[in-house]
Every structure is written in structure tokens, then in C-alpha cells.
Structure 1
Amino acid sequence: MIQTKLIPRTAEANEPPLIIKSMLAQSLRYEPQREIVYRDLFRINYVQFNERVRKLANVLTELGVKPGDTVAVLDWDSHRYLECFFGVTSLGAILHTINVRLSPTQILFTMNHAEDKVVLIHEDFLPILTAIKSQLTTVDTYVVLSDKVYTGTEEITTLSEIPAGFVGEYEALLKPASADYDFPDFDENTWATTFYTTGTTGNPKGVYFSHRELFMHTMGLLTYIIGYEAMPFKGSTDVYMPITPMFHVHAWGFPFLATMMSAKQVYPGRYEPELLLKLLIKEGVTLSHCVPTILNMLVSNPAAQKFREPLSRWKVMIGGSALTKGLAKAAIDLGITVLAGYGMSETAPVMAVGYLNEAERQLPMSEQLELRTRAGRISPFIDMRLMDDEGNFVPHDGHSLGEIVARGPWLTQGYYNDPERGAALWKGGWLHTGDVASITPDNWIIIADRTKDVIKTGGEWVSSLDMEDTLSQVEGVAESAVVGLPDDRWGERPHALIVLKPGYDLTAERIKAGLQAKVDRGELHKWYVPDHILFVSEIPKTSVGKIDKKRIRSEMKDQILAS
């Protein structure tokens, strides 16, 4: 860094730190009457929400939680989870959002590694706890969460039976607690949250974020989503419902933004297609985000055809996996506004959103489709480059490929107690994403593939994502996955798994013939015809809904080659 002249610090001046409690405070300033809704069971306004956050802080303090202690949560997406986003972190404690879809062995590792002290757990996940409880090394307090206490009215009942070893049920503990709590100021670089992301090898990695990083990520969303209107979100008229688990990168950071804006929020609990549609219509939901699997589940539901009018008000950002043109078109045909975003667990996560400029918004939807299915335009305050294997930067010409590397004010500093993998993440002072892409001169990101999923065949690199996008546009294809498998002649060859839509009876030969016809017309590269096509009822997914290509390559190789 260059030498500059710093502003003298004045001892009497009070410069508040950028911490999560300051975002919470905004929720009471302008629209405190707006609601936070949980399923069809419970609703509160922001005055009540703030009271409950402070009650939670008092409960945790009584349970012995101190600044720097870790509080773990295993819950469905709920108002309780949102209260923990603010109540735990504003104490100066660390919120551990546990991925309930990991195996019990992996969950055990993450809880011991994070040194959890208090665990708040929904009764649906008690069997997981039963399997690992005797091996937990740092937990001393358990609180049970239950939906049985909500009656669908303002009344909250008492849980009839508390599990052995638990100090009580969440609502029963909150009820007598004081609603007064003066959250302290502390250094904005204080550790706020942690969660664990799984890789191809080794134990899950502990990602962590400070108050400042989460504050700045919220400001980045505020600038891009609201300021530039990439996904127009007006607190006065929009209703937010996450369809991304809150354990997954803080539900992409949107709960912090929605709360700061005191927007109406709807939390759906366990994901059930019929209930999601019901809440979307009844509560007037206008903004959500999810992985492609969830959107596909919703647009494929026959009930969706009956609700075109409310769906036409719905804006959805897709992340986690590529948004294919086939799925985007199916959503747009229902009136849904859909576009993609880009990021990863280590980036809090948003680093790009599909912003269409004034000229692009005038294009016919057939041309917009190409833009809406790209990974997005680089977010404000993010410096993103492409790098080759030798560490050289690659030009942003829309064609040259390289690994995406990034810098920004909200990227994780590393992995907890794992300096070796943290150093690899930040090799050369840039965060390495593992994604191969091109970037256009006007900042659009076009993902080619993950470095481990790109197919190297006949001396050329073939994008499995592009092949999946091509297959998604074949009539009758609901979902597809393409992987490279070893080939003696070509090094690797592409192979596909396909899920058909109900009522369609396609064959591998017909699909290949259709693709080959496009190759013959010069519309596709010759490698885009997969060697084998295996029809399946479902495609293996990871714990956060991404296509699990590692599992496909290892467990389904023989099935694919025999198809």
C-alpha cells in the first residue's frame, strides 16, 4: 500500500463499529408494523421481533453464553433462525449454522471442531443428536425447538414433554425473559458466524465471517439489488421468502437485508412444494432465491399452472448451480422473473447478479434468455479477474478462459484451524474459486465449468454446464447432468443422466440424433453428443441441492457405461 496522510483520531469522537446490531436497529425506524411470518403458524411485527431478539439474548446470557462462545442451530427456515442471526451475534457470540443434510458423522465433526457450547435444535433432528450426543466434547446446554407450540393464532402453547437433558423449549424460555437488553459495541472484526462446507476430500471446512464482512455484504446487496435494481426489491411493496436453507451461507445474506429494510418476510420451514405455493400466493411473496432443483420442483408442479397471476409478480434469483435455458424458459412462461447470481460459501456469497442494463431490457425475451442464464455481472465493490495455471491474468474478452479469482470487502479470510487449505484458497493474494469462466468486456461472467468437472476430450475442454444447458432445451427433458468418464482414446468422454418430464417417452437414440443434427448444421460442437445417456428418476444432489458429480462419477459409472 502507498503512504497516505491519515485523519487524526479524536478521543471524544464516537465512530460506531459496523456490526450486526446496527442493521437490527434500522428495522424499527420506518416500518415496524410489517410482519415476519412462519408457515401458516405464527406471525409477529418488527416491534415484537426486536423484543424476542432481546429476550433470546437474555436467555442465552442466563445459560452462560459469553462473547466468543459458539451457539449452534439446527432448524428449518424460521423466525427462530432469524432471531438467532441477530440475537446470538449481537452478544458477541458466534452463530454456527449447522447443515442438517450432512451425515451424522460430519455433523459431529463440525460441532466439535467449532467448539459449540449451546445447541438449539428442532425436534425433527433429535434422532441425529441421539446418534452423536455421547461424542460431543464441548456442548453443555441443549434447547429444543418445536412447531407444536404454535396454534396458528397469537396464542403460544406449552410443549407437553421436554427431551431428557434439555434445559427447556425455546418459546417457554423466551416467555418470562426480559425484553430489555443493551447490546454492546465491540470491534467490527469480531467473529460473527461459522458454517462448514464440504469438498471432494477431507473433513468439512469451517468458513467464518466477521461482523464487518456481513455488514459490507449487506451493503453490497443494498447497492446492487436496490440501488441498481438488478432484482428490484422495494421494502414498501415487496415480500421476501427464502427458499435457500438458512444454514447455507446465511440464506445468501438476504435475511440481513430484508430485516434492515423492515420488509415483510415469510419463512416456510421445511420445504414442501404445495406449502411454498400456498405461502407465495397467500402472503403475496414477490422475491425469493433458490437452487435450480427447487425452482424446477415448483414450476413442474401442476398446481403452478393455476396461479399465473401471483407467479407473474415473483422474482427469483438462482444460484448454487447453473440456470439452464430450459428451466429459465419454463419459469418465464409462467410469468416468473428469473435470473442467475454467482458466489460461493467462502464469499458470503454474492459476487455477481444478472443485471440487465437499459438497452438489454429492451431486447426480446428470446435474446434476454442468454443473458439471464449467465452467472451475472460483477457486483459493486468486488474485484474479479481470470487467472491461468501459471498465475497470469487472462483478458476479459468474453472468450478467453481462466479460473475466477476475486478480492472484496466480504470474502472469508480462510478456514478455521486449517491454515494449509486457507493459504491455498488465498494463493497469491486472490481468493481462488475453482470455477473456469470467461468475462465479457462489460462484466458479464460466463461460467464454463468447475475445474474438476470440465471434460477434457480429444485435446479440447468441453463444458459440462453447456451440455446440460443444451439438453435442458430438448422437449421432455426435466433435468440433466453431464460428467466426463475416462476413455482410452480421447482421455475423457461426456456421458449424461436425464430425468424425463411425466408423460414423455424419449430414447437415448432420439436425443442423440437430435443433437447430431445440430452438429451437422454447425449449431453445436461435435463433442456435444454424449457417448451414453442413462435415464434416472432423480439425479444425485449434494446437501445444498447441487448436482453431485463426484458421486455420479464414482457410484454410477458402471450403470452409465452399460446404458
Structure 2
Amino acid sequence: MIQTKLIPRTAEAHEPPMLIKSMLAQSLKYEPQREIVYRDLFRMNYIQFNQRVRKLANVLTELGIKPGDMVAVFDWDSHRYLECFFGVTSYGAILHTINVRLSPAQILYTMNHAKDKIVLIHEDFLPILAAIKDQLTTVEKFVVLSDKVYTGTAEVKPLNELPEGVEGEYEALLNSASDQYEFPDFDENTWATSFYTTGTTGNPKGVYFSHRQLFMHTMGLLTYIIGYEAMPFKGSTDVYMPITPMFHVHAWGFPFLATMMSAKQVYPGRYEPELLLKLLIAEGVTLSHCVPTILNMLVSSPAAPRFRENLSRWKVIIGGSALTKGLANAATGLGITVISGYGMSETAPILAVGYLNEQEKMCLPEEQIDLRTRAGRIAPFVELRLMDDNGQFVAHDGHSLGEIVARGPWLTQGYYEDPERGADLWKGGWLHTGDVASITTDHWVIVSDRTKDVIKTGGEWVSSLDMEDVLSQVEGIAESAVVGLPDERWGERPHALIIQKPGYALTAEGVKAELQAKVDRGDLHKWYVPDRIVFVQEIPKTSVGKIDKKKIRSEMKELILGK
């Protein structure tokens, strides 16, 4: 560290901390009349939203929650969740977003490990709570969330189904609270949010972020998405709807950005294909983000071509898994603008987003697809390097491969109460992503594979992601997953699971023949023809919608090998 000279400071000078409450305050300045919509059940403007956020702070006060306490939330994507993003954190408490797709045992572990003090829970998840409630060690109080209060069709489930400490229903508590509350200043490095990410071994890991980190992540999105127009998002005309769960890395941080801009927002609740399409059309949604599975589900809908005019205004950022050329072509064929984004839970998550510069926008459509399916260009304020197995940096020449390592102002500092895995994450002062990639001289990131998913066959390293991309371009294939399995002769050989589109009658031999023809023409390497192809109705996914290759390799090995 070089010697520098700090600026002189006057004792009375105020230096405002970077806090989430500061982003909230912007939502009232310019377009407070814009709406936040929840399904077809509830809508409000930003004036009402700010009032409800302050009501929530008063509810937390009345319930005895103190700054630093952990507040757990079980909910679908909703206006209530958005209120917690701002109300819980600006109050000084810590928001623990529960991954409702984990097993009850994993959820129990995360709640006890995080030391949750109070739980806000949608009644749909009461059965999960019933299974674990007697084993919770720190939870003292519960608040029920219900959509029925907006419809008047039925009463909320009896509160006596919950443990002692139930305080009532969320909407009723807000209605009885004052909308006057002055959020305090505190250190910008105060812990703001936490959630748990699952790995290949061991218990889920607690990831955590400060107010400063989330503030800076929002500024990074603001710079890249709005400033550079990587995916143009204008608050005056665009409408935002997440199709990534809000428990998953704060819905990639976009709710903070959209709220700060007082953009119209639409929250779909539980994901239902028909409702998603209905909201997209009725509310004029123009910007979303999701995993490839969700986009594939929507573009494969028989109804999609009828709504091409609406879909042509829709811009979608794909992350979580690789965007294949087949899916990108299907989406652009409907007029949808797609690009990829790259990151991970530990990075809040944005590390790269696709950005086409002026020259690249002049490229032919097929050349643009190649760019749009890359992981993205390195995001502002982020430093990405490639590192080999010996800890040496690898050249950014678009060909040399290495593990992506990262630095930036919004990366988690470790794992909660898990210093050993935290030290491994930050080995050598760089955050290790576990992804193998190349980086071009003009800062495009091209992810080859996860280090654990690269197929090592006959002395060659074959990317399972590249193989899935090739399969996506075979007519009739809706989705695929490729894994490497042990082989006595070659070390490993690739095997593929395939879901075919309705109306097709593909065969393994036919798919292999089409790939072999590309090999014979010199378009593909010989290793890109899988040893075995198995047609399935469903491909295993993780709790956040990624292809679960660990499960495929272990639990489905018998199916794939035919033993």
C-alpha cells in the first residue's frame, strides 16, 4: 500500500454513508405517481410504497425487533418482499431471504445458523414451518403473509397452527401502524442482507452483504444498464418484472435499481406461465431477468406467436445457466431482445453483462447471437482475471483458459461463521468463482464450464456448456444437459439428457448422426458426439433453476449408463 495524503476534514462536515435508505429516498423525488403492481391483486404508487415501508419499520419496533436482529422472509415475489428489502434493512435489521425451494432440513439449518429472530411467512409455506417449528432455536415471533386479504374470498389460515409468538397478519399490522418514521444514519458497512447458497458438499453457506456493497452494486447496474445502455432501461417508459426469485441474490439487485428510479414494477408472485404472460402483456413489461428454463418455457408456449407485438418490446437478461444459441434464436425469432449476464451468489451477483458496442451492433444477426450468448463484458468497477492451477495469471487473448477470479466493491467478504470456506473463497486475495473461461482483449468473458463440470476425455478438456449449445441448435431439442461419466479407456466420456419439443420423434441415433455430420465437415471436434443420449421428460434443476449436474452424475448415473 503506497503512502497517500488524506484530505483535511472539518469537524462539523457531514459525510453521508452509502445506505439503502438513500436509494429509497430517490423514489419520491421525480415520479412518485408510478405504480408497483402485485399480480392482479394489489397496486400502489411510490408515495404509498414509502408510507408502507415506514409502517413496516414501526411494526418491527412494536414487535421488539432491534437493529442487528435477523428478520427471515418466506414469500413469493411480491410487493411485501420489496417493502422488506427497504424497510428491514433501513431500520438497521438484517434481511434473511429464505430459499423456499430448499428441503425442510436445509431451511431449518439456515434459520438456526443465521439466528433468525422473527419470521414473516406466506401461508403457502406454513406446512414447511410445521415440519421444523419445534426445532427452531432462536425464532421468537411470526407474522403471516396472505393474499386472501386482497380478495376477501376466505380468511387467513388459523394462527393457532403456528408456534407461540404469532403476532398477526402482515397487512393488518401495517394498517394499524403509523406511516411516520425517520430512518437513522449508521455505518455504511452495517450488515444488511443474508441468504444461503448450496454447494456440492456440506451445509448451505451463509452469504452476507453490507449497505455499502448493495449501494455500490446498484450504482454498478445504474452505470452499465442505464449509462452504457447494455440493456436499455428508462424509468420513463420501461416496466420491470423479475422472473428470478427475490430470495436469490436480491433478484439480482434489480429491485433496488428499479425502486431508486421510481420505475413501474410488476411482481408476479408464484410463477405460473399463463399469469406471467398475462402480466407481461397487460402491464406492458419491457425488462426482466430469468434463468434459461423460464425463457424456454415462455417462448415454447403455443400462445407466444400470437403476442409477438408485445414480446418485441421485451428485453431479457439471462443468467444462472448458459444461454444457448438455440434458445437465443428462438427468443429473437419472437422479437425478444436477449443478452447474458454473469455472476454468482457471492458477487451480489453482477460481474459481467452483455454489451454490444457501436461496431458490434452493425454485425449480422448470427454474429450478434454469438456475442449475446457469451457471459458478458466485464461490468464497471469490477476486475476479472484468469488464473491457472499454479496461481499464475493467464493472458486475456480470447483463447487461453483459466479460472475466473474477481475483485470489486460488492463481493461478499466470506461465509457467515465459516472462516475455512471463506478463506478458500478468497485464496490469494482474489474471489475464486470456480468457472473456467477465456477473456478477450476487448473484455468479453466466454465461460467454458464449471471446473467440476469440464469433461476430461482422452487428454482433451471438453466443455459441457459448449456441447449443450451445439445440441440446442438441433431441430426438435428443447433442452439438454451434458455430463462426463467415468470411462475405463478415455477417463471420462460425455453423456446427454435431452428433452424434445412436442410433435417431434427424435432418436438418439438421429441426433448423433446429425452431430457426426458436423464432425465430418470439420465444424465440430469428434469428442462433441455424446456416447449415450437419453430422452427424458424433465432435467433435474437446483433450487434456483440451474441444471443440477451433481444430481445427474450421481442419482441418474444408472439411467444414463443403462445399468
TM-score interval for Structure 1 and Structure 2 normalised by the shorter chain: over 0.9
- In structure 2, the partner of 1:6 is 6
Are 1:561 and 2:532 counterparts?
no
Are 1:235 and 2:232 counterparts?
no
The secondary structure found in structure 2 opposite 1:183 is coil
Distance 1:143 1:76 in 2: 15
What is the one-letter code of the residue matched to 1:140?
A: E
List alignment gaps of at least 5 residues for structure 2. none
**Where do 1:262-273 residues align within 5 Å?**
262-273=262-273
Judge which range, 344-353 or 360-369, deviates more. Answer: 360-369
Q: What's the offset of the Cα at 1:158?
A: 6.8
Distance 1:176 1:130 in 2: 28
Per-residue deviation, residues 350-407 of structure 1 (Å, max 9, x unmatched)? 0100000001111111110000000000000001000000000000000000000000
TM-score (norm 2): 0.99
Are 1:142 and 2:139 counterparts?
no
What is the one-letter code of the residue matched to 1:320?
A: G
8 Å CA contact retained: 1:67, 1:91 = yes
Per-residue deviation, residues 430-454 of structure 1 (Å, max 9, x unmatched)? 0000000000000000000000000
The aligned length equals: 560
- In structure 1, the partner of 2:301 is 301
Equivalent in 140, 156, 159 of residue 162 of structure 1: 159
Q: What's the offset of the Cα at 1:159?
A: 3.9
Q: What's the offset of the Cα at 1:9?
A: 2.1
Distance 1:270 1:447 in 2: 31
The secondary structure found in structure 1 opposite 2:386 is strand
Distance 2:264 2:154 in 1: 25
8 Å CA contact retained: 1:150, 1:157 = no
Per-residue deviation, residues 513-561 of structure 1 (Å, max 9, x unmatched)? 1101100110000100000000000100000000000000001111111
Q: What's the offset of the Cα at 1:8?
A: 1.6
Distance 2:322 2:154 in 1: 44
Distance 1:472 1:143 in 2: 45
What is the one-letter code of the residue matched to 2:274?
A: E
Per-residue deviation, residues 127-156 of structure 1 (Å, max 9, x unmatched)? 0000000000000000000000113xxx99
Q: What's the offset of the Cα at 1:161?
A: 3.8
The secondary structure found in structure 2 opposite 1:138 is coil
- In structure 1, the partner of 2:358 is 358
Distance 1:70 1:414 in 2: 18
8 Å CA contact retained: 1:213, 1:410 = yes
TM-score (norm 1): 0.99
- In structure 1, the partner of 2:73 is 73
Distance 2:26 2:414 in 1: 30
Distance 1:442 1:176 in 2: 56
What is the one-letter code of the residue matched to 2:195?
A: F
Distance 1:361 1:160 in 2: 54
What is the one-letter code of the residue matched to 2:18?
A: L
What is the one-letter code of the residue matched to 1:357?
A: N
What is the one-letter code of the residue matched to 1:352?
A: A
What is the one-letter code of the residue matched to 2:159?
A: I
- In structure 1, the partner of 2:87 is 87
**Where do 1:149-298 residues align within 5 Å?**
149-151=149-151, 159=156, 161-164=158-161, 165=164, 166-298=166-298
What is the one-letter code of the residue matched to 1:467?
A: M
The secondary structure found in structure 2 opposite 1:192 is strand
Distance 1:118 1:156 in 2: 28
- In structure 2, the partner of 1:388 is 388
What is the one-letter code of the residue matched to 1:507?
A: T
8 Å CA contact retained: 1:407, 1:430 = yes
Q: What's the offset of the Cα at 1:455?
A: 0.2
Q: What's the offset of the Cα at 1:163?
A: 4.1
The secondary structure found in structure 2 opposite 1:3 is coil
Distance 1:436 1:43 in 2: 44
8 Å CA contact retained: 2:481, 2:547 = yes
- In structure 1, the partner of 2:418 is 418
Distance 1:180 1:156 in 2: 31
- In structure 2, the partner of 1:476 is 476
Distance 2:9 2:216 in 1: 23
The secondary structure found in structure 1 opposite 2:255 is helix
Q: What's the offset of the Cα at 1:492?
A: 0.2
What is the one-letter code of the residue matched to 1:98?
A: I
- In structure 2, the partner of 1:110 is 110
- In structure 1, the partner of 2:450 is 450
8 Å CA contact retained: 1:72, 1:97 = yes
Per-residue deviation, residues 261-285 of structure 1 (Å, max 9, x unmatched)? 0000000000000000000000000
Distance 2:198 2:288 in 1: 25
Q: What's the offset of the Cα at 1:562?
A: 1.4
8 Å CA contact retained: 1:532, 1:561 = yes
The secondary structure found in structure 2 opposite 1:96 is strand
- In structure 2, the partner of 1:377 is 377
Per-residue deviation, residues 87-146 of structure 1 (Å, max 9, x unmatched)? 000011000000000000000000000000000000000000000000000000000000
The secondary structure found in structure 2 opposite 1:149 is helix
What is the one-letter code of the residue matched to 1:270?
A: R
Distance 1:430 1:334 in 2: 41
The secondary structure found in structure 2 opposite 1:101 is coil
8 Å CA contact retained: 1:361, 1:368 = yes
Distance 2:350 2:90 in 1: 23
Distance 2:340 2:48 in 1: 34
8 Å CA contact retained: 1:158, 1:172 = no
Q: What's the offset of the Cα at 1:10?
A: 1.6
The secondary structure found in structure 2 opposite 1:409 is coil
- In structure 2, the partner of 1:23 is 23
The secondary structure found in structure 2 opposite 1:302 is coil
The secondary structure found in structure 2 opposite 1:358 is coil
The secondary structure found in structure 1 opposite 2:44 is strand
8 Å CA contact retained: 2:436, 2:448 = yes
What is the one-letter code of the residue matched to 1:266?
A: V
**Where do 1:425-444 residues align within 5 Å?**
425-444=425-444
The secondary structure found in structure 2 opposite 1:217 is helix
The secondary structure found in structure 1 opposite 2:546 is coil
What is the one-letter code of the residue matched to 2:466?
A: D
Q: What's the offset of the Cα at 1:160?
A: 7.1
Distance 1:179 1:158 in 2: 26
Per-residue deviation, residues 170-201 of structure 1 (Å, max 9, x unmatched)? 00000010000010000000000000000000
